[in-house]
Amino acid sequence: MNDGTISLSNFWLPKQNSTFAKNVDFAWDVVTWVSIFFFLLIVVAMCWFVYRYRRRAEGEKTSTVDHNLQLEVTWTIIPLAIVIGLFVVGFRGYVNAAVAPGDAYEIRVAAQKWSWTFFYPNGAKSLNELVVPAGRPVKLTMSSKDVLHSLFIAEFRVKQDVVPGTYTSLWFEALEPGETMLECTEYCGKDHSNMLAKVRILDATAFTDWVEKANAANANLPPEKVGEGVYTKICSACHSTDGSPRAAPSFKGLFGKQESFNDGSSATVDDNYIRESILTPNAKIVKGFAGVMPPFQGALSEQEIAGLIAFIKAQK
């Protein structure tokens, strides 16, 4: 943890406490040092040229400046190679950070002016305190209740916008137990700068303990159970869970599937697709079905929608 003292190792950047941190910092260091190198090279050369080729006498003619093919090719090829190298490092890091491992522990995040609420798979929730296990991939699926926010955990080197009406996600794997800070990094109004949460990283057993106790205190239904309730009441008339066709596609094996639509397009079934299909079902109609489902915009709470998504995910 950062105890406030500044040493050489934390002068530039906070402690590295995720599997990404090393690679992110490497890319950062390369960009910084390449920039410093070229800044010095160009500025020193410029100053020297200004001195060396100054006009020495009234009436002195400017010498004819011609091009130099070798020089121009050199100063095109070398920077090109450097930026391609940076792109490769950056792109690999980006892809790695964008796609969570399939077995990641999923925590849902609701942002609002000006607080963070975290929902755990067993029904536990916490306000302005994110508790995560160390040494295990954790995926955050996030949405906002009002305006744009952005979730940033410096020690994990992760940042992602949190947007109303859609889900965004990020993932990380913390290296060791400790405590750090989560900040909002999108200007979201008067108390933006106070929109902070504590991040507590616990070892596996302590985390299991915490998450069980946290829900014993709240006695919330796990999201999957919330979803099951909604399913039984509303969806089951048209959607089966055993693969048998009713008026609409079955939920069995639905999540992660490639779905084809009546207009010839296709998409992978993920959180955002399910959300859209609940709120505005006619946006995409699965091939072979009719658009008979009523829109549920405004009829279901965010918690019920998240619950249905968890329930559908569980119908393998």
Task: Mark the segment that binds ligand CUA (CB under 6 A) among 98-106, 188-196, 251-259, 305-313.
Answer: 188-196
Query: Which residue among 153, 195, 254, 312 contacts ligand CUA (CB under 6 A)?
Result: 195
Cβ closest to ligand CUA, residue 113 vs residue 200:
113
Whether the Cβ atoms of residue 240 and residue 246 lie closer than 8 Å to each other: yes
Cβ closest to ligand CUA, residue 188 vs residue 230:
188
Q: Which amino acid is at 237?
A: A
Query: Which residue among 184, 226, 305, 308 contacts ligand CUA (CB under 6 A)?
Result: 184
Pairing of strands 105-112, 115-119: antiparallel
Instruction: Measure the CA–CA gap between 90 and 249, rounded to whole angstroms.
Output: 40
Cβ closest to ligand CUA, residue 55 vs residue 190:
190
Site string for ligand CUA, 138-157 (x = CB under 6 A): -----------x--------
Q: CB of residue 272 vs ligand CUA: minimum separation in angstroms?
A: 21
Task: Mark the segment that binds ligand CUA (CB under 6 A) among 152-160, 185-193, 241-249, 301-309.
Answer: 185-193
Q: Which long-range contacts (CB under 8 A, 24 or more apart) does 237-243 make?
A: 238/292, 238/293, 241/315
Q: Is 225 in the site for ligand CUA (CB under 6 A)?
A: no
Cβ closest to ligand CUA, residue 195 vs residue 278:
195
Beta-bridged to residue 197, according to DSSP, are: 182
Beta-bridged to residue 133, according to DSSP, are: 202
Pairing of strands 196-202, 129-133: parallel
Query: Which residue among 97, 188, 202, 274 contacts ligand CUA (CB under 6 A)?
Result: 188
Cβ closest to ligand CUA, residue 149 vs residue 157:
149
Please report the DSSP string for 31-99 in residue order: HHHHHHHHHHHHHHHHHHHHHHT---STTPPPPPP---HHHHHHHHHHHHHHHHHHHHHHHHHHHHHHS
Instruction: Measure the CA–CA gap between 236 and 159, rounded to whole angstroms.
Output: 38
Query: Which residue among 106, 186, 224, 304 contacts ligand CUA (CB under 6 A)?
Result: 186
- Residues found near ligand CUA in the complex (CB under 6 A): 149, 184, 186-188, 192, 195
